[in-house]
Each structure stands twice: as C-alpha cells, then as structure tokens.
A and B are shown apart, each in its own frame.
Chain A
C-alpha cells in the first residue's frame, strides 16, 4: 500500500484510470519492473536457459564421454565440480542436464496446455452439463497423488523421457484446466461478452476475440508455476530411473546417480540439487511477480 502512495499519478494517467478502470494490462511492464524479486528471477532464468541452449558452444567437455583417469578428481580448473565415477565433467553434465530438464518441462507443460485449454474453455464458457461432466473427470484425475499417477502412467507406457513428459503433461492438465475454466467463467459474465452473444456472434469467435486474450494473464501465471512443478516431477521420475535413460542425464537423474557416491563426493549431489532449486525458485518467484503485476486483484 505504501508503494502506491509513492507513485506520482499524472493527469493523463488519472484520466485513463478513471475512464478504463483497473484494466489489467495498463502499465504491466512498469508494475512488473517494480517487483525486484521477479525481475531478478526472470534474469536468472534467461541466463540459465541461454547457457543450457547454447551449451555446445561454450562447454569444453563431452557430457557423456569421460576420461577414466579423471574419475573422482575433485573440483579443479578444468573440472569445476570435479569429474564423476566415469571421469565425466560434472559441470558440463549439469549444463546439458539443465537443458534436458528445461526442455522436458516445457514440453510437458505444452502437453498439459493442449489438453487443459480446450476442455477448460468448454467447461467455463459452455457451462451446464458439459461443465459438470468435465469437472467430475477433473476431480477424479486430481484425486490421484500427482507423482503416483505419473509413475503409474510411465509404468504402463515404459520408462523413457518422452513417456515421462507425456505423463507429467497428463497429470498437470487438470490444474491448468481449472485455471482456464475459472477465468473463462468470470469473463463470460462480462457485459461485453453478453452483448456479443446477444448480437449473435458465434461462440468460437467470442472465445477467440474476447475470452482467450483475457485469460492470458492467469494462464501465464499458472504456466510459470507449472513449469516449476514439471521440473520437480521430471526430476523425481528421473531420480527413480523412470525418466531420462543413461548415458544422458537430467538434473534429477544426476542426483539419483550421485546418491551412490554420497560419502565420497557429496558435491555430485549438491550441485544438481541446488541447480534444480534455483530454477524452480526462480519460476515460482516469477509466477508470483506476474500474478501481482497482471491480475486485477493486483494488490493485496
């Protein structure tokens, strides 16, 4: 609240505020930039993503091939975090691992979106019986503990990174669906949507022109948070051995492998663990920051 008092409202802005009410996107950039934590989180994520995507350009070691004589050599100039049991550079493996983890999370959330968005729109916009049926299925899917459902799906499909991504996508689709449904429901009641409907604008057009752009902000927040969940879920599956298969590694499978050498080389476990934490924490902080600067309930 005190922050609001510091802001100087120019006459032009005041007019705009009066004329349009608290429209969600007015001054989004500025509101976002004011959230120092979220800006830092975004910067960290951008750096990590760039480092992961461009990994072949700037890392010197082969992530999957090692020099056996280097095995278990401690941190040094050439091996920043040491070399693992097969003499592979742990830092390089981590960079490539982050690449796999991030890619897997993006695809998993993409799958969740492809499932959740249409069903959420139908449930929220059509309402009635469709809504009831979709919501019951949704409730049922959400009754499963996420990780158990994911493990079960992978259990039937077979262990691989692709199947793990599909499983995580299916598990998190109901969450995204709920968010889309809630947003679509509240927009359906807006006067302009009502007016469009009365004028006989077809539902598909209303959804495309009015509903979709308006649910973008809650969706963006949820996507950011879901990416964090997806990274944790992929890490758990790979930790158990149900995700990425050797010799490739994700951050989660590196932690799983490191467990065997915990006494000898704890850094093998700590480094990827901290990396996961930083990525997920950044995604969560970014999600919270987006929520605070996008939503109508911007200020609490």
Chain B
C-alpha cells in the first residue's frame, strides 16, 4: 500500500512540473504587453511600464522567469492581482471554501441519485425502470449544466419560490440560509454528475453480476440485498471510483458556470471576473490550483482503488 502511494506520488512530480509550465506559457499567449497591462493599461507612462516589467521579472530570460514562477509556488507566492493588488494566494483561499462546499454537496447529491438509480437499472436490464434511468441519464449527460440550473431556478425560485434564485450567505452568518442558498447550485451540478456516474455504475454492475462468484453467492441462498451490497458493489465500485475522480474535473469546471448563474463568490466566478479584467496572475493561480486539486484527488482515487482491489497493490 505504501509502495503504491510512493510510486503514484513520484509520477505526479513531472506532471506537476509540466502543469506549471503550461500555466507559465499561457502568459505568452496574451496579446500586447503584460507589463503594460499590469501598470494600468494604455494610459500608463513608459516609466511605469518599465517599472512593472522589472517588478514582474518580465525583463529576465524566459527560463529565469519560469524558475521564479515555479519556486514562487513553493513559498506560496503566486504573484499579485493586477487589479486589486491582492496576493493571488489570498484571493484564491478566500474563494475556495465556497467552491469546495459547492462541489462536495454536488457530489453527495450525485451519489444519492446515481447509486440507487444505477443499482435498480443493473438489477433488471431492459426493464422499464432500467430504460427510464438510462433515458434520463442520457439526457442529463447531453444537457449543459447551466440549462439544468436555469430550469431549477425557473421551477423552484420563480414559480414555487422555495429557494432563492441567486446569492450566497456565508455559513458563519446563518447556517439555514447558507444551506438554502446552496440547494439549487448543488442540485444543478449534482444532476449532471449523477447522470454519468449512474451510467457507469450500471455498466460495471452488469459486468460484475455476470461473474461466477455472484452466481455462487446467489446459489448459497444469500439475499439479493447482501449479494449486491457486499459482493457486487465492492467490485463494481472501482471503475466508478475512476469516474468520480474524473468528475472532480467536471465539477471544478462546472463551478465556473454554476457560480455565474447563482452569483456565488467562489473560484469559478473569480476566474470569470479575472478573465474580463484581464487579470492574468489570478487566472494562472486558479488554473494551477484546480489542476493541483485534480492531481491530489486522482492520487487519492488510485490509493482507494488499491484498497478496493488488492490485485492492484502488488502490480
């Protein structure tokens, strides 16, 4: 188990280096002069631009620039916002709790929907229940998440007026209002994720339920509930775990759109605002942070995989 963890950590190192390099390269895509942008745009004097260039290290060789960028990461220095001069790290850490609570809640919603739906569908393939689950999940995969959000706002906020349409209340201020402000965003992001997880769980359960040991377990007279719960799920869940790992990328991306719809002050809305302000350091910071989250989650998924499937530990 430890060896698996060590090996996975080792593979992550070059990936992390390349990720930072890609984000570093992004700056080279920008049209015009980033130093001028940092100095305040068109109206900035040549002196200010030169000062900004020096301050940002843009007058250095590119590999020196990259080294500063890379080493800055380890001291928690991602630069400062061009716009507010706030350190990027503090801008991100201010926002990240909102996005993480959005994603965590969405994942809970997704699993609460997908696991029972996937099991029901897999137990009787071809039945009406199976077809309904497959149809809804196919539609769910094909719907943009913001369309789901829009329909939910239409129904629950405008017609039924149960939940607020937009806005965010911090949990310190009022736990119930915090919860209410997040219900629709959770459902929006959760539905989309549920569709994919349900499809995967169904496929991998179907595969497992066909195996000999399941037949043996059934023949021994073990009830269906514990055949599925104890024998099938543990084996069917490993591929699903991979999907959940992939879903984290999707959920993080989804925050961009969902936070925009519901006006939540998270990472996603920070990114969008930064893009419109051309606040390059913030965009770079968010890109690195989200990639880091994905890498860490995938590491955890791999380790969990090893726990669920002992064969992989030795490999």
Contacts A136-B18, A145-B252, A263-B158 known; A239 to B138 CB distance under 8 Å?
A: no
Contacts A255-B147, A273-B150 known; A155 to B18 CB distance under 8 Å?
A: no
Taken together as a complex, chains A and B put the C-alpha atoms of A137 and B151 apart, in Å, by 39
Taken together as a complex, chains A and B put the C-alpha atoms of A256 and B149 apart, in Å, by 12
CB of A106 within 8 Å of the partner chain:
no
Give the contacting residue for B143; candidates A155, A159, A239, A277; CB below 8 A: A277
The stretch of A70-78, A85-93, A178-186, A228-236 in contact with B is: A228-236
**Which interface class (under 10, 10 to 19, 20 to 34, 35 or more) fits A?**
35 or more
CB of B100 within 8 Å of the partner chain:
no
Q: Which residues on B sit within 8 Å (CB–CB) of A142?
A: 249
Q: Are the C-beta atoms of A277 and B287 separated by less than 8 Å?
A: no
CB of B201 within 8 Å of the partner chain:
no
Q: Are the C-beta atoms of A242 and B253 separated by less than 8 Å?
A: no
Give the contacting residue for B271; candidates A148, A235, A273, A277; CB below 8 A: A148
Interface majority SS (helix, strand, loop, mixed), chain A: helix
CB of A53 within 8 Å of the partner chain:
no
Give the contacting residue for B278; candidates A137, A139, A155; CB below 8 A: A155
Q: Which residues on B sit within 8 Å (CB–CB) of A112?
A: none
Q: Are the C-beta atoms of B150 and A269 separated by less than 8 Å?
A: yes
- Which chain B residues (31-83) contact chain A, with CB distance < 8 Å? 31
Give the contacting residue for A148; candidates B143, B154, B253; CB below 8 A: B253
CB of B275 within 8 Å of the partner chain:
yes
Q: Which residues on A sit within 8 Å (CB–CB) of B260?
A: 239-240
Scoring B residues 111 to 143 as 1 if CB is less than 8 Å from chain A, else 0, what string do you get? 000000000000000000000000000110111
Q: Are the C-beta atoms of A277 and B283 separated by less than 8 Å?
A: no
Q: From residue B227, how far is it (CB to closest CB) to chain A in Å?
A: 22
Q: Are the C-beta atoms of B139 and A143 separated by less than 8 Å?
A: no
Question: Could you name 27 residue pairs across A and B whose Cβ atoms are closer than 8 Å?
Answer: A136-B15, A139-B15, A144-B294, A145-B250, A145-B251, A146-B253, A148-B271, A151-B256, A152-B275, A152-B283, A155-B275, A157-B29, A157-B30, A157-B31, A159-B276, A236-B146, A236-B256, A239-B146, A239-B257, A252-B144, A256-B146, A259-B261, A262-B154, A276-B143, A277-B142, A281-B142, A284-B141
Chain A residues in the interface with B (C-beta under 8 A)? 136-137, 139-149, 151-159, 228, 232, 235-236, 239-242, 252, 255-256, 258-259, 262-263, 266, 269-270, 273, 276-278, 280-281, 284-285
